[in-house]
Amino acid sequence: IFILVLGGKAMRRLGLALGFLLLAGALAQGLSPGEKEQAAQIYFDRCAGCHGVLRKGATGPALDPKKMAERGLEYLKAVIFGGLPGGMPDWGRQGILSEKETELMARFLLEEPPAPPIPTYEEIRRTWKVYVPPEKRPTKPEHTRNWQNFFGQVLRDTGQVAIIDGDKKELVTIVPTGFATHILRSSATGRYFMAIGRDGKASLIDLWMNPPRVVAESKPCVDARSIESSKFKGYEDKYAVVGCYWPPTMVILDGLTLEPLKMVSTMSYTKGAGEFVQEARVAAIVASQFNPEWIVNLKESGQTWLVDYSKLNQKGRPLPITMIDTERFLHDGGWALKRYFIVAANAVNKLIVIDTKTREFVAEVEAGVRPHPGRGSNWTHPTYGPVWATGNIGSPEVTVVGVDPEKHPQHAWKVIKRIQLPYTGNLFIKTHPNSPWVIVDFPMSPSPEAAASLCAIDKRKLEVAKCWEVPGAQDLKARMVHPEFNKGGTEIWVSAWGSKDTPTFIVVYDALTLKEKARITGDWVRTPTGKFNVYNTAYDIY
Ligand code: DHE
C-alpha cells in the first residue's frame, strides 16, 4: 500500500506484485490443524471416490497441488461450487457445501494430500460383531411376507437401509448400516442382504427375521464401494468379499458372520505403463456361476482378478488369483447372458468383456463418454439377438452391444445402436424380461428439469419412446435415480434423491403402461438412492 501510494507506474506494478506474493504467502501458510481435519473429512466423503484418496485421479482428473496452484484459488472455488459438465457435481449450488466450505476445499487442494489411515489387522478384527449367531437364526421365515419381493432401499445420508414389502408397498423396517451406504447385494440364496458403507462397514441383514435385522457386521476398510457373496454351487452364502477403496485391499469374510478371514493388497503396477500405483482400488465385484470364483476389478491398475475361493478353508488358506490385464479405471458393470461380465473403464470410454466360463478377456468395445452401466440391461432383439446396454454420464446416449458370439457372431462385441437421449447425466438404466422398456435416469444432469426426468426406451425399436418429468421432484430439489423392477417385472420403482433435511418419495410405475401407480412416502424417506429387489439382485435379472 505504501508503495502504491508513493509510487509511479513501475512502483505500482512492483506493489501489485508484492501484494500478490503476500496473498500467496498467506495461502501457502496453509490450513490450521482443525481446518485440515475438516477439509480431509469433506474430501473423503465427497471427492475421494472420483479423484482418489491420494488425488492421483480416476473417474475425475488428478488434483496435483502444483497444477491446482496454476489454476488459482478463484477457479477452484468456482468449479467446486458450480460443477463442470463432464460429471463434476455442483456441490455449492446443491447446498451440500457452503461458500466457506467451498473456499476451504479450494485451499485444501493447494496442499499436499495428508496420508490416509491404514488400520491394522487387530483393529479390523475389533470391528467384527455378531449380533445373532447363525445357530440362533430362524430356519424358516418368521413372517408370512413375500420376502423375495422385498426392496432394500438405501437411505444414503442417514446411513440406513429401509426394507420395503414390494407386494404391499409398506415399510417393514429400517436398519442401521454404514455411513453413506453405497450398495446392497443379495446372498446366493437371497435370504441375506449385504450392505457396504462408504466407510467400509459391511452389514449382514437377515430378511427371514421378524422384523429383518442386522445379524453381523465388520468394517474391514475405511473406504469401500463393493460387496459380493460366494454363489457357486456348494458355496452358497459361505463367503463374502469386500472391495476396498482404502486401504487398497480385497477382504474375504465369512459369509454368515462377516468374520474377516483374509486380506489381500491390490497395490500393483499398471497395465501397459508399468507404473506402480499405491491406490489400486477395488471397484465392481461379481460372483461367477461357472467356477468358485469372484471377478474382482481393480480401478487404477487396470487388472481383472479371478479369485478362487474354493480352497480358503484348507490349511494355509491358499488363494489362487488369476490376474488378467484389461484396461485402467475399471468401475461398474454387469452380466450378459450370465456368462460374460462387462465392466466400464469409464475414464477411457471403454467396455471390457470377460468370459467367466473360459476365464479370459474377450473384447474391448468403444462406449459413449464415461460409460456408467450400474449393472446394465439385457434383452433379446429380433434382429441382433441377445444384447446388453449401458448408459453414459457424459454423452446423451445408451450404447447397445451384441453379446452372443455363439449364435450371433456377426454382432458380438459390436455397438449395434447408439440410442440418442434428450439429456446427458445418466447414471443407471434398468429393464426386466417382462417389460418392453429400458428405463433411464439423469441424476448427474446439470439441468434440474432433466435430473427430475426419466425416459423409456423401446427395446424392439431401439429408440426413446417417451420422456417425462416426475411431478413434485423439482419442488423437492430431488434427482430421480436408480430404476429397479419388482420380482414379477410388473412395476418400476425410482427414488427421488433430495437433501437429508427434506423427506422425498419413491415413485412406482406400471411396467407396461408407464402410468404412476403409487408413491411411497414418509418422514423416513430421506436421501433414497439405490434400491435392490431381492429376487432380481440374487438372480442377476436386469
Ligand atoms: Fe456408485 C455401484 C463407485 C458415486 C450409487 N459405485 C458402484 C460400483 C462402484 C461404485 C465401484 C460397483 C459396485 C459393484 O457392482 O460391485 N460410485 C462409485 C464411486 O467411486 C463414485 C463415482 C464416487 C464416490 O465417491 O462414491 C460413486 N454411486 C455414486 C453416487 O453418487 C450414487 C448415485 C449415490 C451414492 O451412494 O453415493 C451411487 N453406485 C451407486 C449404486 C450402485 C453403485 C446405486 C449399484 C448399482 C446397481 O444397480 O447395481
| pLDDT score, position 29 | 54
Residue 275: what residue type? E
| Residue with CA closest to ligand 1 atom 33 | 529
Does residue 13 register a pLDDT over 80? no
Instruction: Please say if the pLDDT value at position 348 is more than 60.
Output: yes
pTM for the structure as a whole: 0.90
Please report the pLDDT score of residue 110 as a whole number: 95
pLDDT value for 2: 36
Q: Could you tell me if 190 and 205 are in contact, meaning their C-beta atoms sit under 8 angstroms apart?
A: no
pLDDT at 16: 44
**% of residues, the chain, pLDDT over 90:** 86
CATH number at residue 103: 1.10.760.10
Across residues 471-493, what is the average pLDDT? 98
Sign of torsion over alpha carbons 255, 374, 268, 37: negative
Q: Give 33-74 pLDDT, tens digit per residue.
A: 999 999 999 998 899 988 998 998 887 899 999 999 999 999
> Catalytic: 411?
no
CA dist., res. 413 & res. 528, Å (int): 35
In a domain, 37, yes or no: yes
Residue 88 lies in a domain: yes
Using the atom order of ligand 1, give the atom closest to the CA of residue 443. 33
> Which residues, at least 6 apart from 203, have a Cβ–Cβ distance to it below 8 Å?
161, 175, 176, 177, 178, 194, 195, 197, 214, 216, 217, 258
Cell (9 digits) for 348: 477411457
* Nearest CA residue ID for atom 35, ligand 1: 182
Distance 225 CA to ligand 1 centre (A): 7
**φ and ψ at residue 379, rounded to 5 degrees:** -160, 170
CA distances (Å), origin 223, targets 50, 92, 180, 296: 12, 24, 11, 16
pLDDT tens for residues 14-28? Answer: 444 444 444 444 444
State pLDDT tens for residues 394-413. Answer: 999 999 999 999 999 999 99
Q: Quick count: other Cβ atoms within 10 Å of Cβ 476?
A: 16
Name the β-bridge partners of 388. 378, 401
Query: 237: CA distance to ligand 1 center in Å?
Result: 23
Work out the average pLDDT over 197-206.
96
Whether residue 360 is predicted with pLDDT greater than 70 in this model: the reply is yes
From edge to edge, which strands make up the β-sheet containing 282-287? Answer: 282-287, 293-298, 303-308, 321-325
* Pairing of β 150-155 and β 129-130: unpaired
d(CA 303, CA 326): 5
More confident residue, 142 or 268: 142
ipTM: 0.98
Q: Which position among 47, 68, 105, 194 bears the catalytic label?
A: 47
Torsion of CA 326, 328, 329, 332, to 10 degrees: -10
Mean pLDDT across 143-158 = 97
Nearest 5°: the CA angle 331, 336, 342 is 25
pLDDT tens digit sequence for 290-333: 999 999 999 999 999 999 999 887 777 779 999 999 999 999 99
Q: How far is the CA of 122 from the centre of ligand 1 (A)?
A: 29
Bridge partners of 463, per DSSP, are 458
Q: Which of 138, 179, 135 lies closest to 161, judged by CA?
A: 179
**Of the candidates 515, 511, 502, the residue with the CA atom closest to the CA atom of residue 474:** 502
pLDDT given at position 313 = 73
Angstrom distance (rounded) from CA 200 to CA 243: 9
Residue 1 has pLDDT above 90, yes or no: no
**CB-count burial class (<10 Å; 0-12, 13-18, 19+) for 23:** exposed
Catalytic, 221? Answer: no
Nine-digit cell string for 359: 476365464
State the residue range of the domain holding 90.
31-108
Res 107 pLDDT > 70:
yes
How many angstroms separate the CA atoms of 222 and 220, rounded? 7
C-alpha to C-alpha distances, 201 to 177, 244, 251, 264, 302, nearest whole angstrom: 7, 10, 12, 17, 25
- pLDDT for 311 equals 87
**51 belongs to a structural domain:** yes
Q: Write out the three cell numbers for 204.
A: 449382514
Q: Identify whether 100 is part of a domain.
A: yes
Map 468-479 to HEC letters.
Answer: EECCCCHHHCCE
User: Which residues sit with their C-beta closer than 6 Å to ligand 1?
Assistant: 49-50, 59, 156, 180, 182-183, 225-226, 283-285, 331-332, 374-375, 427-428, 481-482, 529-530
Q: Say if residues 540 and 518 touch (Cβ distance below 8 Å).
A: no
Q: What mean pLDDT value characterizes the chain?
A: 93
- Residue 12 predicted with pLDDT over 80: no
| 7: in domain | no
pLDDT of residue 166: 98
The HSE-up count of residue 297 (CA atoms within 13 Å, CB side) is 30
Catalytic residue chosen out of the listed positions 331, 408, 411, 482: 331
- DSSP assignment string, 45-80: IIIHHHH-TTS--SSSPP--HHHHHHH-HHHHHHHH
Give residue-wise pLDDT tens across range 67-91: 999 999 999 999 999 998 777 899 9
CA distance 424 to 519: 26
- Tell me if 248 is assigned to some domain: no
Question: Cα(196) to centroid of ligand 1, in Å?
Answer: 11
Structure confidence at residue 314 (pLDDT): 73
Q: What is the pLDDT of residue 241?
A: 98
Residue with cell 505403463: 273
Count the domains in the chain: 1
Give, in order, the Cα–Cα distances in Å from 271 to each of 1, 299, 304, 323, 477.
55, 11, 10, 11, 42
Mean pLDDT of 423-439: 97
CA–CA distances in Å: residue 326 to residues 122, 272, 309, 329, 342: 34, 10, 22, 10, 11
Nearest ligand 1 atom to the CA of 228 is: 16
Give a yes or no: residue 468 inside a domain: no
Question: Catalytic site residue 455?
Answer: no
Q: How far, CA to CA in Å, does 290 sit from each of 356, 361, 517?
A: 7, 15, 39
Residue 362 has pLDDT above 60, yes or no: yes
| Domain presence at residue 138 | no
Using CA atoms, how far apart are residues 493 and 297, in angstroms rounded to an integer? 29
